[in-house]
Amino acid sequence: MALVILALMVVVGPVDWLVLKLAGKQPWTWATTFGWIALVTTGGVYVGEVFKSGELHLRTVRLIDQADGRVAGVCDTALIYSPRTDDYPLLTPAGSWWLPLGYEPQIGRARTSLSTIRLDQGQEGCVPAPVRIHVWNLRLLCGQTIAPDMPAPIEADLTIIRSAPQPRIAGTIVNRSGSSISRLLVRINAGWADALGGQPPLENGASLRFDLPTTSMDWPIPESRRNLDALNVPADPMFMLVATGDATTTRSPAVRELIYSRANTACIYAVLDAPQPSVKLGRAGAVERHFAFVRALVGAREIMP
């Protein structure tokens, strides 16, 4: 890129001046300078459709919200990086509703989507048409799905023991997600506990029995993207849970409110390993990585020792 800019400076500067001087057309210098700028800019846009530089990348993040043993909603986020100017078809879940991420204005947050993306709305939802992405550009899309018939990924039977100085959480968690679970945190209004605590991942179909004291230390997952400095980004996958949860502008505040206002409510946060892609790119050869999380609200029994 630096060499291209230097070459452009030479062409627009001394070479252009010398040619105009020899032709006796030096007053045209301003016109030819703007002409070169327009030519290079236009060429830079269209050359991206012919040449490819780098690899095509797809990243997806899925957040499954569960309440009372049923899936309340699913939030999918997709990121595409384009090495050339092209149209990219997306295969999205049936019945999902999509928007460019950041399109919907929210209190305290500026509208950040400046590109136009065509969406096709019908009986199957509102899905993106083939997305045109220019060379070396990104597109971020967010889709919401109401999926009451989707199998619940977490089964739990929990008891909160209100002992001093900190309550304990005991019970059983069964993994029904279809993937192994590498992190499993349980949160109540008085604290939280790491259910796996360094143990091997909980395989699909396996159950975990535990009886753990809660800690009153700060909740390890920041409540907002503004507090992501508390995480080892991007090594800690929890930062994607924060970003995706931040996109669910109505459910995330409701989850926090239920945790703090109801003493017999717990929330289970699970990180799924190697999940199936929630969004597929209708183009072969992409470098893909997929992430999935579960946020499950469950009722718990209370025992006062």
206 pLDDT more than 60: yes
Of the listed ranges 214-223, 247-256, 286-295, the one predicted with least confidence: 214-223
What pLDDT is attached to residue 225? 52
pLDDT in tens, 104-113: 555 555 555 5
92 pLDDT more than 50: yes
173-184 mean pLDDT = 96
DSSP secondary structure string for all residues of 107-134: TTB-----S---EEEETTEEEEPSEEE-
Higher pLDDT, 221 or 274: 274
Confidence of residue 44 (pLDDT cuts 50, 70, 90): low
What pLDDT is attached to residue 23? 75
Q: How many residues are listed for the chain in this entry?
A: 305
Beta strands at 191-194 and 119-122: parallel, antiparallel or unpaired:
unpaired
Confidence of residue 154 (pLDDT cuts 50, 70, 90): very high
What pLDDT is attached to residue 102? 64
Of the listed ranges 36-45, 177-186, 259-268, the one predicted with least confidence: 36-45
Which residues neighbour 122 within 8 Å (Cβ) at sequence distance 6 or greater? none
What pLDDT is attached to residue 228? 47
2 pLDDT more than 70: no
What pLDDT is attached to residue 43? 65
64-82 mean pLDDT = 93
Quote the tokens at residue 277: 């892609």
230 pLDDT more than 60: no
48-73 mean pLDDT = 85
179-207 mean pLDDT = 94
Of the listed ranges 18-32, 152-166, 186-200, the one predicted with least confidence: 18-32
DSSP secondary structure string for all residues of 204-231: TT-EEEEEEE-B-SPPSS-SSGGGGGGS
Of the listed ranges 40-49, 57-66, 135-144, 296-305, the one predicted with least confidence: 40-49
pLDDT in tens, 265-299: 999 999 999 899 989 998 888 999 999 999 999 99
233 pLDDT more than 50: no
Confidence of residue 231 (pLDDT cuts 50, 70, 90): very low
Quote the tokens at residue 19: 């040619």
Q: Nearest to residue 139, comparing CAs of 93, 98, 109, 94?
A: 98
Higher pLDDT, 101 or 3: 101
